[in-house]
Amino acid sequence: MKITVVGCGALGSFYGARLCRTGQDVHFLLRSDYDVVRRQGVVIHSINGDFHVQPRCARTPDEIGVCDVVLIGLKTTANGQFPKLLPSLVGPRTAVVTLQNGLGNEEQLARLFPPEQILGGLCFVCLNRVGPGVIQHTAHGKVVLGEFQGPSQPRTRELAGLFRQAGIACDITGNLARTHWEKLVWNIPFNGLGVAGTAGYEALISQTSTFNSQPVLTTDRLLGDPRWETLVRELMLEVIAAANALDFEVPQSLAEENIKRTRVMGAYKASTLIDFERGQPLELENMFLEPLRQAQTAGVPVPRLVRLCEVLHQLDPNG
């Protein structure tokens, strides 16, 4: 298959490199890393074994042309670039697969392309980009793949097989919207508190606007302090309550399952915390504000999520 990765940070580079390793025709659409990746390729330092690949590199979509599959690993703050980056890559039979976090990404793509061409992939993985074309993989890696609208298709199973051939565990969901909410159970507390925790614990449980600068909160620190662990759990249960009010039937036990799974990650920095440290805009809209709006529309009280969004908005470098 001809596959293009749009958004070659940690996520896009890792999964793109895995697919490239199987001999697929993989293209990386690059900006700042173009020269390094074209010259040196992509290096993955992984718990499952290090490897190196040499994908095809391009600066513009027109250099690549229409593909069989477009994998989108962009930060959701870059979704405004969809009309510029994607049309040259997408033909009438192209599968457009967003691997992005949060809610609303598939809907944004559906304004440009037929909904039946759009899929979502939820990535349960610990990754960091440690240099141009260099990715550190420290835990997990599974992808859950689903059609934007309707049940799985032969195309869905073919794509899942492509991931599995690349050594990536891949499940198929018949309800992509529910799976998005299941991932938010992890993303909202660990991405959110990792950043908001720098304002101090009191800022999260009160209405004070006076923040005391604190050290960053990696996942081990959030679960190593009973106060922060309590907030993690409370946020998870609010997200689950919102999902259930929207008829997604997410079990409360998912909170404890996520906490148990996170303990093995060590001192992991979630992606939003890395963006914050680099002074980049936070993925507030899709990962936090849209879930908040849907929870409030469903009439679910989510006081911890409300306060988290307030603090994140004040801390956002572009806020």
Shortest CA distance to 16 belongs to which of 73, 91, 84?
A: 73
Burial classification of residue 60, based on how many CB atoms lie within 10 Å of its CB (0-12 exposed, 13-18 middle, 19 or more buried): exposed
Burial classification of residue 138, based on how many CB atoms lie within 10 Å of its CB (0-12 exposed, 13-18 middle, 19 or more buried): middle
Q: What is the full DSSP assignment across 209-233?
A: ----------HHHHHHSHHHHHHHH
Half-sphere exposure of 141 (CA within 13 A, CB side): 19
Q: How far apart are CA 305 and CA 235, in angstroms?
A: 6
Rg (C-alpha) for the chain, rounded Å, is: 19
Q: How far apart are CA 262 and CA 264, in angstroms?
A: 5
The alpha helices in the chain, defined as continuous H runs, are 10-21, 34-40, 82-85, 105-110, 154-165, 176-196, 201-205, 219-224, 226-245, 253-263, 271-277, 284, 290-297, 303-315
Q: Is residue 159 within 8 Å of 119, Cβ to Cβ?
A: yes
Name, in order, each residue with C-beta under 8 angstroms of 100's C-beta and a sequence gap of 6 or more: 72, 73, 74, 75, 76, 79, 286
Q: How far apart are CA 38 and CA 31, in angstroms?
A: 11
Q: How far apart are CA 314 and CA 135, in angstroms?
A: 30
Q: How far apart are CA 253 and CA 234, in angstroms?
A: 13
Q: How far apart are CA 232 and CA 191, in angstroms?
A: 10
Catalytic residues: 183
